Amino acid sequence: MIAGGGGFRVPLVYRALCEGPFAGLVDELVLFDVDELRLAAIEAVLRDMPTAHGPAPVVVVSTDLGQALTGTDMVFAAIRPGGTAGRIADEQIPLELGLLGQETTGAGGISYALRSIPRMLDLAEAMRRHCPEAWLINFTNPAGMVTEALVPVMGRRVIGICDSAGGLVQRAARAAGAPLKEGRLDGVGYYGLNHLGWLYRLAPEGRDLLPALLSDHAALETIEEGRLFGQHTLLQLRCLPNEYLYYYYQTPQATEAIGHQRQTRGASIHGQQQSLYPSLLQDAHPYELWDSARRSREEGYLAEARTHGEQRDESDLAGGGYERVALSVMRALSGGGTAQLILNVPNSPVSLAGPTAGAAVPGLPGDAVVEVPCEVTPDGALPLAQERPEGRFLTLMQHVKEVERLTIRAVVSGEREAAVRAFAAHPLVGSLPLGRQLLAGYEAAFPELTQLWS
């Protein structure tokens, strides 16, 4: 079952289930959404989609959550409370205060989490009633923070996914001349939180290829992160950062670039989808219309970092990211062979409590959700031990993790002051008065937030 079944990227999941290595993995796909128009539009795209002749799953659409969950083995969640209109506010409110306006990073990410976490907790409770043995694969953003909020309810039956870290590793391996096998991360060292991580080792055959890659200007220019950060910065860091760290390392430039755009990324996507969804129901070829919109949307990803006309790699525009991560997890959980993937899971492989004993990322709490290479089997996702992060990286992770925990506490305990402190403590905000202004602005944009504190 897909929660958020009317979502723009759902056809990517369906396409992957119809052809290639995941064909036959699922016999029935239930699309659940609260928006009937969006469901109908995506259903039209799926009916029109050209797929290889093979076992395609039966598609069922539903606006009844209990009905949609009953009988399911796997739940994939990618919801956006507030819709794309909410994203506009997430980005615009901090921009008006001279701060970074981005969907998952900084103030916008906290606002998004304050809306996402309550709805995802509702979903988890519904799963306990209707399909208690099912796994929840979470892509709802901010993925790491939302997953951590769900762990007390679902334990290890919730796994957070994102394609950003895995994409970085694959690009780096290809640039180093040693592409990785599907579902293998041999010799890969990566640690972080969702949208905040670093590839610090790339040794698929025992010898670390990362230092040579960082010294090879031509090779770096072939990958997104090399162009994004520049060789000088990467040599200083001695690693490859996740692309979202651009917002931390180049904050003034990113904020200025976003401010100079004709409209924010959220406003652009909102405008696109407002016209697209009704058109999908009227067009004779809804799949072609959707695919053209998808490609346009991919071309605009992280556009604020490409200020000199650079283009995204063709492989990044083709699709095939997060849905492959989700289905690789599902296949391994279903007994289709183990897989190694970078996932968001609790830091300690032994216990969900305790400080750092046995932690995959030394220096972070055992119950903190981190983003690291994992071994996925029918028993779940086991985080693989990583080196202790260098001080500057660990400090930033600890800082952002504290923000995440304050945000979760604000929702679960109904503490408005915890939300203020979360905004204020974020490295991209850093001010209590700004924290109060931000929360007041978001409460005005999303009146339902005030119900959390009542």
If you count them, how many residues does the chain have? 454
Give me the mean pLDDT over the 181-193 stretch: 96
For residues 37 and 277, is the Cβ–Cβ distance under 8 A? yes
Domain residue ranges in the chain: 391-453
Question: Which residue in this structure is represented by tokens 């009953």?
Answer: 70
* pLDDT for 355 beyond 80: no
Burial class of 232 by CB neighbour count within 10 A (0 to 12, 13 to 18, 19+): exposed
Phi/psi class of residue 206: alpha, beta or left (left: φ > 0; alpha: ψ in -120 to 50)? left
C-alpha distances (whole Å) from 324 to each of 14, 233, 320 are 11, 31, 6
| Helix, strand, coil percent values for the chain (each to nearest 5) | 55, 15, 35
pLDDT band at 351 (very low <50, low <70, confident <90, very high): very low
* pLDDT for 356 beyond 70: no
Cβ partners under 8 Å of residue 361, min gap 6:
191, 192, 347, 370, 372, 386, 388, 389, 397
* pLDDT for 301 beyond 70: no
107-142 per-position pLDDT tens digit = 999 999 999 999 999 999 999 999 999 999 999 999
65-113 per-position pLDDT tens digit = 999 999 999 999 999 999 999 999 999 999 999 999 999 999 999 999 9
The pTM is what? 0.94
Q: How far is CA 142 from the centre of its chain?
A: 6
DSSP β-bridge partners for residue 363: none
For residues 31 and 8, is the Cβ–Cβ distance under 8 A? no
**Average pLDDT in the chain:** 93
pLDDT band at 298 (very low <50, low <70, confident <90, very high): confident
Q: What percent of the chain has pLDDT over 70?
A: 93
> If you write DSSP's letter for every residue of 138-184 in order, what string do you get?
E-PSSHHHHHHHHHHHHGGGEEE--SHHHHHHHHHHHHTT-PPPTT-
